[in-house]
């Protein structure tokens, strides 16, 4: 028989367990919600974009819970993705799931979202050279993860850049060309030009907090970052005669475009761009220009007419969120229209995707999954292009990016003691809640990957999609530049 004190003790113990259980469930639920907010989408959905499925070669291959066998015809592809239907285990709801792949003496680890449920494209490009020695067999091992066995789809990207094609890489800011396309411009260093649009002078924090003093004047930041943008492509073997910076003000391109559309009153003549910095450029960039949208498009027209690029690499206007990035794509398309370029291709890249700045997951040096394009109406590209990077190329890309002073974390940063403790507290809470002590938006982590991914559009089609009814003889009553593909259908058909 249980006496009253024992019963009370048991009641208290059970109540404590109950409270602890409810508290744990609430913490786990909160942690899962924070994680979804971090990645920017519900992981319980398919992430295989239609645009890829329709624009690449797709074949069926056999997959088990232990391996997938890739046929020899895949070896000649520029990139390959295996489509697997994943389901995370119970632990994988709260701990980071991962798929490990190994072929020959090569291996890679692909992080998958916590709580994942749906189809994903797993990049195999880094393992393609290993397939000859492994008889096409890629071993699979999942952590907190399972997938459907049987016949699965292998996506092979065959799009290539010809050796005689002239390439122009356009970057809104110093660092964007390297983040998005270092591997591409190094692979085609003999035929590539790199052009940055702005001075990058809006980023003053790294130049002031490290000294604990007043912020560096924007003019000084501009000088430093323009120098960075002109130096980084040298690491890839591009001569200084093919590297330029138009020196427009950082963070103001969208405002310049709006002012340009409204028409510029004569008494609001824009100031000259810093001629001292423009003078650092090679001959294909005019020395003098003013701070206006018209001047920017004029500059780009001149560059396009002089270089006659077959391939222009620029930010994707439909997936990028940074106003300067969207405005850069618009300026390039306006210049193509003015220059009457009907041939050639635009390769659109993505640095700041609309869904999250945490993409892609996992540490630097890993593979890069296809960006999540679910939930966004995207004009169907003509093709996709992947530039693969070897470990040596990734190391040089790291050097080029780390040389950008805005991305570099300098040790010994002078901070008040209170701020240091606050940072420590913030990191500890992040570690407890998310399992991560640092923000996942670090571009050195996100951008150094074994693939660089591009959406390919013909110049004519891209201009029609981005500029809409302005293409049809400049006679439309609307001055806006539609970025909704639905509103641009008529222009595309025309």
Taking the complex as a whole, how short is the minimal distance between the CB of residue 38 and Zn ion, in angstroms? 21
Piece in contact with Zn ion (CB under 5 A), picked from 105-113, 176-184, 305-313, 482-490: 176-184
Q: Candidates 166-174, 253-261, 363-371, 440-448 — which segment interacts with Zn ion by CB under 5 A?
A: 166-174
**Complex with Zn ion: residue 225 or 461, whichever CB lies closer:** 225
3-state secondary structure of 236: helix
315 interacts with Zn ion by CB under 5 A: no
Contacts of 125 (CB under 8 A, 6+ apart): 78, 79, 80, 367, 386, 388, 450, 451
- Contact of 375 with 41, CB cutoff 8 Å: yes
Structure tokens at 162: 């010809």
Helix (H) or strand (E) holding 184: helix 176-187
In angstroms, give the least distance from the CB of 176 to Zn ion.
Answer: 4
β-strands 98-103, 106-111 pairing: antiparallel
Of 111 and 403, CB closest to Zn ion:
403
| Element at 304 (helix H, strand E) | helix 293-307
Residue 211 Cβ, how far from Zn ion at the closest point, in Å?
Answer: 24
Smallest separation, CB 421 to Zn ion (Å): 32
Give Cα 427 to chain centroid, integer Å.
25
Q: Which helix (H) or strand (E) holds 62?
A: strand 57-63
Window of 171-179, 433-441, 451-459, 473-481 that interacts with Zn ion by CB under 5 A: 171-179
Kindly identify the residues of this chain, within the stretch 247-306, that bind Zn ion according to CB under 5 A. none
- Given the complex with Zn ion, which of 140 and 333 has the nearer CB atom? 333
When the beta carbons of 159 and 176 are compared against Zn ion, the nearer one is: 176
* Number of neighbours of residue 471 by Cβ within 10 angstroms: 20
The number of beta carbons lying within 10 Å of the beta carbon of residue 238 is: 21
CB of 356 to Zn ion, least distance (A): 16
**Phi first, then psi: what are they for 194, rounded to 5°?**
-120, 125
* Residue with smaller CB distance to Zn ion, 176 or 228: 176
**Rounded Cα distance, 90 and 48, in Å:** 24
Do 393 and 452 form a contact (C-beta atoms < 8 A)? no
# residues near Zn ion by CB under 5 A: 3
Which range, of 167-175, 392-400, 434-442, 476-484, touches Zn ion by CB under 5 A?
167-175
Q: Does 176 bind Zn ion (CB under 5 A)?
A: yes
- Among the listed ranges 88-96, 170-178, 246-254, 365-373, the one in contact with Zn ion (CB under 5 A) is 170-178
Beta bridge partners of 139: 67, 102
How far is residue 157 from each of residues 17, 57, 319, 483, measured CA to CA in Å?
A: 55, 7, 21, 27
Identify which of residues 71 and 251 has a Cβ nearer to Zn ion in the complex: 251
Stretch that binds Zn ion, among 15-23, 97-105, 169-177, 477-485 (CB under 5 A): 169-177
Choices 173-181, 187-195, 291-299, 385-393; region in contact with Zn ion by CB under 5 A: 173-181
Q: Taking each helix axis from N to C terminus, what angle separates 4-39 and 417-434, rounded to the nearest 10 degrees? A: 100
Structure-token match 């999942």, residue found = 142
CB of 431 to Zn ion, least distance (A): 29
Rg (CA), the chain: 26
Nearer to Zn ion, 6 or 321 (CB): 321
- Give the one residue of 155, 173, 257, 445 binding Zn ion; rule: CB under 5 A: 173
Question: For residues 165 and 357, which CB has a smaller minimum distance to Zn ion in the complex?
Answer: 357
For the bound state, the minimum distance from the C-beta of residue 398 to Zn ion, rounded and expressed in Å, comes to 18
Nearer to Zn ion, 67 or 348 (CB): 348
Q: Would you say 372 and 453 are in contact if contact means Cβ atoms under 8 Å apart? A: no
CB of 251 to Zn ion, least distance (A): 10
Stretch that binds Zn ion, among 164-172, 213-221, 277-285, 475-483 (CB under 5 A): 164-172
Task: State which H helix or E strand residue 314 sits in.
Answer: strand 311-315
Pairing mode of beta strands 98-103, 137-143? antiparallel
Residue 199 CB, nearest approach to Zn ion (Å): 12
CB nearer Zn ion, residue 170 or residue 373: 170
Q: Does 225 bind Zn ion (CB under 5 A)?
A: no
Rounded CA gap, 415 and 392, in Å? 36
CB 405 to Zn ion: min, Å? 15
| Residue 357 or 382 having the CB closest to Zn ion | 357
Q: Which of 136, 142, 172, 468 binds Zn ion (CB under 5 A)?
A: 172
Sign of CA pseudo-dihedral 240, 244, 245, 246: positive
Residue numbers at the binding site for Zn ion (CB under 5 A): 172-173, 176
């Amino acid at each position: 028989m249980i006496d009253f004190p024992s019963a009370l003790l048991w009641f208290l113990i059970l109540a404590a367990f109950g409270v602890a259980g409810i508290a744990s469930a609430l913490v786990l639920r909160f942690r899962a919600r924070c994680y979804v907010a971090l990645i920017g989408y519900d992981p319980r959905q398919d992430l295989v974009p239609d645009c890829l499925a329709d624009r690449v070669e797709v074949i069926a291959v056999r997959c088990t819970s232990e391996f997938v066998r890739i046929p020899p015809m895949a070896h000649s592809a520029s990139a390959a993705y295996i489509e697997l239907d994943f389901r995370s285990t119970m632990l994988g709801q709260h701990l980071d799931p991962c798929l490990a792949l190994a072929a020959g003496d090569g291996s890679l680890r692909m992080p998958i979202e916590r709580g994942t449920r749906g189809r994903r494209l797993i990049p195999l490009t880094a393992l393609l050279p290993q397939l000859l020695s492994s008889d096409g067999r890629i071993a699979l091992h999942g952590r907190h993860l399972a997938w459907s066995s049987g016949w699965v789809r292998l996506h092979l990207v065959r799009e290539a850049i010809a050796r005689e094609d002239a390439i122009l890489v356009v970057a809104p800011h110093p660092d964007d060309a390297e983040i998005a396309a270092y591997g591409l411009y190094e692979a085609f260093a003999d035929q590539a030009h790199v052009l940055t649009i702005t001075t990058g002078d809006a980023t003053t924090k790294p130049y002031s907090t490290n000294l604990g003093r007043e912020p560096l004047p924007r003019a000084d930041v501009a000088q430093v970052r323009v120098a960075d943008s002109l130096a980084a492509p040298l690491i890839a073997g591009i001569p200084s005669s093919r590297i330029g910076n138009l020196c427009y003000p950082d963070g103001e391109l969208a405002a310049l475009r709006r002012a340009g559309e409204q028409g510029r009153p004569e008494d609001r003549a824009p100031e000259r761009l810093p001629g001292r910095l423009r003078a650092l450029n090679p001959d294909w960039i005019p020395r003098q220009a003013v701070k206006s949208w018209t001047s920017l498009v004029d500059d780009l027209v001149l560059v396009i007419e002089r270089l006659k690029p077959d391939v222009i690499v620029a930010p994707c206007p439909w997936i990028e969120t940074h106003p300067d990035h969207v405005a850069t794509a618009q300026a390039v398309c306006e210049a193509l229209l003015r220059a009457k370029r009907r041939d050639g291709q635009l390769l659109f890249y993505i640095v700041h995707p609309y869904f999250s700045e945490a993409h892609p997951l996992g540490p630097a040096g890993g593979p890069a999954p296809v960006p999540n394009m679910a939930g966004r109406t995207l004009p169907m590209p003509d093709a996709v292009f992947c530039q693969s990077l070897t470990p040596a190329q990734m190391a040089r890309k790291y050097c080029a990016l780390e040389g950008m002073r805005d991305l570099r974390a300098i040790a010994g940063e002078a901070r008040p003691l209170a701020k240091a403790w606050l940072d420590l507290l913030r990191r500890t809470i992040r570690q407890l809640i998310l399992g991560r002590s640092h923000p996942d938006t670090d571009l050195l982590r996100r951008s150094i990957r074994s693939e660089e991914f591009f959406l390919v559009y013909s110049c004519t089609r891209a201009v029609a999609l981005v500029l809409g009814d302005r293409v049809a003889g400049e006679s439309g009553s609307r001055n806006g530049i539609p970025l909704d593909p639905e509103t641009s259908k008529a222009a595309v058909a025309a």
